[in-house]
């Protein structure tokens, strides 16, 4: 079964779009655009993952089983 | 204290091991067919050893041997005496010019109730494979040995075998782990037993030989006693605490290992008449192999949908083929295929956080990816093709992330070394300003692509996450980042990008060149 995944298809499109934009931009811009400042806040998915692992680690402190 | 390395041996004998010399015959006739010694000498063959020096280490010359024999006399009333022999492996067959020192092993023979029992008290052998063979042993260190032929040095990871009386599998695993982290390069079982609360004279506090092994909290106490901060990951489904869903213990293991720190891995054995019910074993892991042509990373998520975390990026652990460690029952430098130990038998992982670190690697990595995703989502089209490629791979969920801990000074050395294919580097004043901005230690999350990481071992850049949190319950903070053509100074939630002339991809970080 031939398979081009969504990720691979999207990557190919993105890379090709970059090439097109770069070709256009090189003709119109002499100076690079300044990069924008930004704000970062962790996503809800990552916050949930960190909280899940912290809850597990807290619970794990009281579980000591077996001998080695 | 005189130990087995610093004691010059007695009655030296030299053997040329090339030609018709047989390891099997030698071990059968001289060392009671000891299987671990056979394994060690077979590693010698891999290293092309051609000379072997045997010396007896006498109790009167070696305080450590005397201490071990005294401990056995307390533990086993039928113990009579213990003898030790040192086998040193050399590259050349000529005793007058032995060449490179490839390692040594201490064979200890104890007489108990009229029966001779033996074990390999310790061995340091040069790892038989190196980076060129895609083997990465992170935790080796030099050991000096004084022999009848002079003083020699070998780099390796200390191996030890339990005697099942005064020390068991947890002791020898701890010894390997501690010896690779302590400045002294080794630790005695007397010290381990002191922190573990083991008393050979007390039937309730003994180990081995019909008694039991160390409990996880004793392992933890030993590591804390030596000043380390262990993290115990337990998987005890029959005691109400399985690992959380979709969390693989191998991913957690790799996070600790890649910071140049060994880990211990404990697992449950299949019960048998020999072992009784619920037997467990623990071994040290200190390296890994790397499969640059692997099919698994792509197939895992595209064909089979395993591991939901892999759907937004590839953890670099995906290209790991086997973990490298010691198993005291089988010998030094054994390989455990990545998925061989499953959750069915895995029970305990003991990882070490680097000094000054409270954030575990499995928290730092997803935070870093979140930052990368946000940068990629907000970046305008740039004049830097490799920055665009980073953004494209990120938005497509195809980045590769590799996480490890680094001190600021080491990171700055690395930044000064980095060059792209156009021989462009980071501006020195930009490095100085970034160094002034960063904390003393942090997590480095290298960012790469599936075609860059395993092949040319190169990357887009790094994301930097704080090793500690500002408050209890707070999330780890991103403190900086470097991507093609841009360096980010991050303060709280605000990030400020600045351009750099280094616009291409650069080498991955490496702990050593070998």
Q: Which residues pair with B241 in a beta bridge?
A: B236
**What residues in A contact B363, CB-CB < 8 Å?**
50, 53
Q: Which residue of A has its CA nearest to B364?
A: A50
CA distance A46 to chain B (A): 6
Q: Which of A7, A37, A47 sits opposite B475 (nearest CB)?
A: A47
CA distance to B362, B374, B377, per residue, from B371 (Å): 15, 5, 10
pLDDT one digit per residue (tens) for chain B, 514 residues? 899 999 999 999 999 999 899 999 999 999 999 999 999 999 999 999 999 999 999 999 999 999 999 999 999 999 999 999 999 999 999 999 999 999 999 999 999 999 999 999 999 999 999 888 888 998 899 999 999 999 999 999 999 999 999 999 999 999 999 999 999 999 999 999 999 999 999 999 999 987 789 999 999 999 999 999 999 999 999 999 999 988 889 989 999 999 989 999 999 998 777 666 679 999 999 999 998 887 888 887 777 765 555 468 999 998 999 999 999 999 999 999 998 999 999 999 999 999 889 999 999 999 999 999 999 998 877 789 999 999 999 999 999 999 999 999 999 999 999 999 999 999 999 999 999 999 999 999 999 999 999 989 999 999 999 999 987 778 999 999 999 999 999 998 999 999 999 999 999 998 766 6
Say which of A11, A41, A68 has its CB closest to residue B266.
Answer: A68
Question: Per DSSP, which regions of B270-377 are E strands?
Answer: 280-290, 313-315, 320-327, 331-337, 346-352
Structure tokens at B12: 């030296």
Nearest to B396 among A10, A33, A37 (CB): A10
CB A47 within 8 A of CB B363: no
B374: closest chain A residue by CA: A40
Answer positive or negative: Cα dihedral of B421, B387, B495, B443. negative
Instruction: Say how many C-beta atoms besides its own lie within 10 A of residue B131's C-beta.
Output: 14
**B225 neighbors B314 (Cβ within 8 angstroms):** no
Contacts of A52 in chain B (CB under 8 A): 244
Beta carbons of B367 and A50 less than 8 Å apart = yes
Q: Please determine, for residue A45, whether its predicted confidence score (pLDDT) is greater than 60.
A: yes
Q: How far is CA B237 from CA A6, A52, B216, B350, in A?
A: 36, 17, 16, 18
pLDDT of residue B283: 98
Exposure b/e, B45-82, CB count within 10 A at least 16 = b: eebebbbbbbbebebeebebbbbbbbbbbebbeebeeb
Task: Please indicate whether, in this complex, the C-beta atoms of B280 and A14 are within 8 angstroms of each other.
Answer: no
Shortest Cα distance, chain B CAs vs residue A30, angstroms: 10
Q: Which of B248, B382, B464, B481 to mutate to test the interface with A (most CBs of A within 10 A)?
A: B382
Write down the mean pLDDT value for chain A. 84
Question: Alpha carbon of B483 to those of B141, B255, B387, B388, B449: distances in Å?
Answer: 33, 22, 7, 10, 13
By the 8 A CB rule, do B259 and B181 touch? no
Segment A4-18, tens digit of pLDDT: 677 788 899 999 998
Taking CB atoms and an 8 Å cutoff, what residues of chain A touch B280? 66-68
CB contact under 8 A, B234 and A65: yes
* pLDDT at residue B514 in the model: 63
The interface predicted TM-score (ipTM) is 0.88
On chain A, the residues whose CB falls within 8 A of the CB of B494 are: 37-40
Taking CB atoms and an 8 Å limit, are B379 and A35 in contact across chains? Answer: yes
Contact B168/A68, CB-based, under 8 Å? Answer: yes
**Beta partners for residue B489, in sequence order:** B480, B496
CA B197/CA B267 separation, integer angstroms: 23
Q: Taking CB atoms and an 8 Å limit, are A38 and B495 in contact across chains?
A: yes
């Amino acid at each position: 079964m031939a398979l081009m995944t969504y990720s691979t298809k999207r990557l190919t499109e993105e890379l090709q779009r970059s090439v097109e934009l770069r070709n256009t931009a090189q003709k119109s811009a002499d100076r690079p655009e300044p990069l924008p400042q930004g704000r970062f806040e962790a996503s809800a998915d990552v916050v949930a993952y960190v909280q899940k692992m912290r809850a597990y680690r807290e619970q794990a402190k009281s579980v000591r089983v077996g001998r080695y | 204290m005189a130990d087995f390395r610093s004691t010059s041996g007695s009655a030296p004998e030299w053997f040329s091991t090339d030609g018709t010399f047989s390891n099997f015959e030698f071990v059968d006739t001289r060392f009671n067919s000891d299987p671990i010694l056979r394994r060690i000498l077979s590693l010698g063959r891999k290293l092309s050893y051609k000379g072997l020096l045997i010396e007896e280490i006498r109790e009167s010359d070696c305080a450590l041997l005397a201490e071990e024999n005294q401990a056995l006399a307390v533990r086993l009333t039928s113990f009579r005496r213990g003898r030790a022999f040192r086998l040193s492996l050399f590259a050349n067959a000529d005793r007058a010019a032995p060449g490179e020192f490839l390692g040594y092993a201490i064979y200890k023979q104890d007489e108990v109730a009229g029966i001779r029992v033996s074990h390999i008290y310790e061995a340091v052998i040069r790892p038989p494979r190196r980076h060129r063979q895609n083997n990465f042993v992170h935790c080796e260190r030099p050991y000096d040995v004084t022999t009848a032929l002079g003083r020699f040095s070998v780099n390796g990871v200390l191996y030890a075998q339990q005697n099942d009386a005064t020390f068991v599998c947890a002791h020898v695993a701890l010894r390997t782990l501690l010896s690779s982290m302590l400045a002294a390069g080794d630790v005695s079982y007397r010290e381990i037993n002191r922190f573990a609360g083991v008393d050979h004279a007390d039937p309730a506090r003994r180990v081995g030989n019909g008694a039991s092994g160390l409990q996880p909290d004793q392992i933890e106490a030993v590591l804390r006693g030596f000043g380390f901060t262990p993290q115990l990951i337990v998987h005890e489904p029959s005691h109400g605490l399985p690992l959380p869903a979709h969390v693989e213990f191998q991913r957690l293991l790799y996070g600790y290992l890649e910071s140049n720190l060994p880990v211990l891995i404990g697992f449950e054995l299949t019960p048998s008449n020999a072992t009784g019910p619920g037997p467990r074993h623990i071994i040290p892991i200190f390296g890994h192999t790397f499969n640059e042509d692997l099919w698994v990373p792509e197939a895992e998520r595209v064909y089979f949908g395993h591991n939901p975390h892999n759907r937004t990026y590839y953890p670099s652990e995906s290209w790991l083929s086997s973990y490298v460690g010691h198993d005291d029952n089988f010998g030094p430098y054994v390989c455990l295929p990545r998925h061989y130990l499953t959750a069915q038998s895995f029970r305990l992982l003991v990882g070490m956080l680097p000094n000054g670190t409270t954030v575990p690697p499995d928290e730092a990595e997803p935070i870093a990816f979140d930052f990368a995703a946000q940068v990629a989502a907000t970046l305008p089209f740039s004049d830097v093709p490799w920055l665009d490629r980073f953004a494209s791979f990120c938005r497509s969920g195809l980045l590769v992330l590799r996480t490890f801990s680094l001190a600021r000074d080491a990171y700055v050395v690395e930044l000064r070394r980095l060059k792209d294919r156009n021989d462009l580097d980071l501006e020195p004043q930009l490095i100085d300003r970034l160094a002034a901005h960063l904390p003393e230690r942090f997590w480095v999350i290298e960012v790469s692509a599936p075609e860059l990481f395993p092949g040319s071992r190169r990357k887009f850049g790094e994301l930097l996450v704080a090793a500690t949190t500002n408050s209890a319950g707070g999330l780890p903070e991103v403190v900086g980042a470097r991507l093609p053509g841009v360096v980010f100074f991050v303060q709280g939630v605000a990030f400020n990008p600045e351009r750099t002339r280094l616009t291409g991809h650069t080498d991955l970080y490496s702990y050593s060149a070998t």
